[in-house]
Structure 1
Amino acid sequence: MQIPDVEVFAAVATASSLSGAARRLGLSAMTVSRRLASLEKELGVRLVQRTTRSASLTPEGEVLLPFARSMLEADEAARATLKANAGTASGLLRVTAPTVFGQELIMPVIPRLLAENPALQVDLTLSDRIVDIVGLGIDVAIRIATLSDSGLVARALAPNPRVVCASPDYLARQGTPTHLEDLKNHQCIGLHGMPYWPFVHQGKAVSIRAEASFSANSVESVRAASKLGLGLAMLTYWDVRNELADGSLALVELEDVVPEQLSIAAVLPTRQYVPNRVRVLLEHLERALK
């Protein structure tokens, strides 16, 4: 049953006439008649006996009336609750993000997010796999990758270029490469799922296969191996920014190519009616990324 049709039926029962119901609802008499007929057709029973001046409920209409009023009360309560919560972040916020990024960037903002929004709950899934956010009912996915063309909505939060780095000890022993071809003479730690390192040369994409005696399936392992001096690593800036800052890893810049430029993006199921709980999370993340 459609709420507008039920509303007309209840108004007719109260006013005891179609014209009275029309005045009560601010509708035309024709609209009231059409909606009432639509409800009767849907239910397969006659609800109101009409005359030119009055209307009275049939026995079936009397049975329906309390249910109709309950439906309208529930509809009004739901609208009032949603309106009251429109400016606050509440409910369950489901988020997924890459493991390292989630641990280092999302987790630190969670305490303040929850403190500022006591009606909010957060369910965080950390995974380096791309998951189906629509199928799993996830509100927002934070991704650091070249986004595939899909029906999802991506919102860039911050640039996050790939970088080549190594420990100072490794570079002291093996030398610092200066050109793309030099990488063939170095140990290039492999990350599962990315056997080729992507670069850009004069606006065109180029790549080189990562060849090393060690590879791993996680960013944490590749970063740790690089710090231990096992070779060069290609990760993203936000994966190694702390290590670059404290000197445990050194940036390797090549003269003839630049690593692929990525960004940190928030991926949403749709751009329409984005819940406020998602908005406040993205605001906190954007502040942290600055």
Structure 2
Amino acid sequence: MYIPDVEVFIAIAEGGSLSAVARRLGLTPMAVSRRLASLERELDVRLVHRTTRSVALTPEGEAFLPYASTLLEASESARVTLKSRAGTASGVLKVTAPTVFGQSVIMPLVPSLLDEHPALKVDITLSDSIVDIAGLGIDVAIRIATLRDSALVARSLAPNPRVLCASSIYLQENGLPETLNDLSRHRCIALHSMPYWPFLRGGEPITVRAEGSFSANSVEAVRSASKQGLGLSMLTYWDVRDDLASGDLQLIELKDACPEELYITALLPSRQHVPHRVRIFLDRLEAFLKLHA
């Protein structure tokens, strides 16, 4: 039932002609008449007797009046409640993100979010696979990948280039690769979803097959294997940022090519009526990424 139609009916019941009701509601007399007719069609009864000078409720209109009043009061209460929560985050924030990024970047943000917004709950799904956010009712997906065409709404948060790296022990034993051709002489740890490593050489894309004695299906396994000296790895900056800072992994920069540039992107089901909890979360995440880049 369309609330503006009910609002017109209530105004008519309070007395006055259709033109007087129209002036009170800021509508034209024609609009008032159409809204009343729409409500009568939906209920399949005549609610108002109309004459050239006045209107009066029918018995059916009198019977419907208390229900109409309840509907209007409930609608107004809902507006007031939602408006009062506009400055705070509430409800369940459902987020999905890649495993390593979620553990190292998103999880540290959760305690302060919950402290500052007592009505908020957080539900996180960490997975390196693509998750159907619309089907699972997820508010926002954090993706670190080349995005395909999608009906989802994308918001870029921060750059996150792929990086080539290895442990200092591996590089001491096997030498430092300097060009793309040098990679063929090294053990390369392949991620199952990326058997070919993407580079840019002279502004043109080129790929190199990652071949070695170890491969894995998760970013965490590749990162761990690289830290243990099993070979070179290509991961994204935010996957290995702490390892590069601690010296557990060493950045490798080739003279003739650079790895593909990626971005951390938030995907939303729709740009319409984005919940306040989602905006709060994304603003916090974006600020953290800029501060710690």
TM > 0.5: yes
Q: Is 1:193 aligned to residue 193 of structure 2?
A: yes
Answer whether contact 1:49 1:56 (CA < 8 A) is retained.
yes
- Could you list the runs of 5+ residues in structure 2 that have no partner in the other structure? none
Query: Match of 1:260?
Result: 260
Which residue of 2 is the match for residue 209 of structure 1? 209
| CA deviation vs aligned residue, 1:158-178 (integer Å, no higher than 9, x gap) | 111111111111111111111
How far is 1:264 from its partner?
1.0
Aligned position for 2:288? 288
AA aligned to 2:251 is: L
> How far 1:31 moved relative to its partner?
2.3
Partners of 1:198 and 1:96 lie apart in 2 by 25
The superposition leaves residues 58-104 of structure 1 with CA deviations (integer Å, 9 ceiling, x where unpaired) of 22212211111111111111111122122221221111100110011
Give the aligned partner of residue 107 of structure 2.
107
Post-superposition offset of 1:27: 2.7
- What letter corresponds to residue 240 of structure 2 in structure 1? V
C-alpha distance after superposition, 1:154-211 (max 9, x if no partner): 2221111111111111111111111101111111011111110000011111001111
- Give the equivalent residue in structure 1 for 2:144: 144
Query: 2:156 matched to which residue of 1?
Result: 156
1:242 alignment counterpart: 242
Q: Which moved more, 1:89-98 or 1:48-57?
A: 48-57
Q: Give a deviation string over 1:31-81, Cα, whole Å, max 9, x none.
A: 222221221122221111122233222222122111111111111111111
Amino acid at match of 1:54: S
1:277 and 2:277 are equivalent in the alignment: yes
**Structure-2-length-normalised TM-score:** 0.95
Three-state SS of the structure 1 residue aligned to 2:128 is coil
In structure 1, the partner of 2:72 is 72
Q: Does 1:98 align with 2:98?
A: yes
Task: Note the C-alpha offset of 1:114.
Answer: 1.1
Equivalent residues of 1:16, 1:56 under 8 A apart = no
C-alpha separation in 2, matches of 1:287 and 1:41: 53
SS in 1 for 2:199: strand
Matched letter for residue 105 of structure 2: L
Q: In 1, distance between residues paired with 2:270 and 2:32? A: 36
Q: CA deviation at 1:224?
A: 0.9
Once the 2 structures are TM-superposed, how far is the Cα of residue 282 of structure 1 from its aligned partner? 1.4
Structure 2: distance between partners of 1:273 and 1:57: 38
Report what 2:121 is aligned to.
121
CA distance in 1, matches of 2:34, 2:158: 54
The letter for the 1-side match of 2:68 is A
Gaps of 5+ in 1: none
Say yes or no: does 1:180 pair with 2:219: no
Deviation at 1:21, TM superposition (A): 2.7
TM-score, normalised with respect to structure 1:
0.95
Task: Report the identity percentage.
Answer: 68
* Count of residues paired in the alignment: 290
**One-letter amino acid of the counterpart of residue 287, structure 1:** A
Q: Which runs of 4+ in 1 moved over 4 A?
A: none
Measured after TM superposition, the shift of residue 16 of structure 1 is 5.4
2: CA distance, partners of 1:28 / 1:279: 38
